[in-house]
Amino acid sequence: MLTRGDIADALYERLFRDRPGEAPARPAKKGPPAKKVFLSDWEIRRLVKPGQKRLAVPANAIVSPLSLDWLDYNGVEIVRE
């Protein structure tokens, strides 16, 4: 019975048999992973601590409309970093 690894090895050999000893180029890592772009109501409620009046979020974050209403109701200001 073939395992997933056996199948991957067979495909690799088939694709790169014309270039023995040469491995395919991998894309370069661009640094740390990007911050979360969309913040839902549940995630915002987890981030805000009782009594907190400011919440820092990434500059490119999209905050859901329900979260904005909840933050406004509780008097929490969003600070984009």
Helix H or strand E encompassing 56:
strand 54-57
Domain-embedded: residue 18? no
End-to-end CA distance of the chain: 53
Q: Examine residue 16 and state whether it is found in any structural domain, yes or no.
A: no
pTM of the entire structure? Answer: 0.54
The answer to the question of residue 42 being in a domain is yes
Q: For residue 72, is it within any domain? A: yes
In a domain, 3, yes or no: no
- Domain contains 50: yes
pLDDT digits (tens, 9 = 90+) for 8-63: 888 777 777 766 555 556 666 565 556 678 999 999 999 999 999 999 998 889 99
* Residue 28: inside a domain: no
- Classify residue 57: in a domain, yes or no: yes
Number of domains in the chain: 1
Look at the alpha carbons of 11, 26, 4, 9 in this order and tell me if their dihedral is positive or negative.
Answer: positive
β-partners of residue 78 are 55
Q: Is 54 helix (H, G, I), strand (E, B) or coil?
A: strand
Over the stretch 55-69, which tens digit does the pLDDT of each residue have? 999 888 999 999 999
Give the domain extent around 51: 33-81
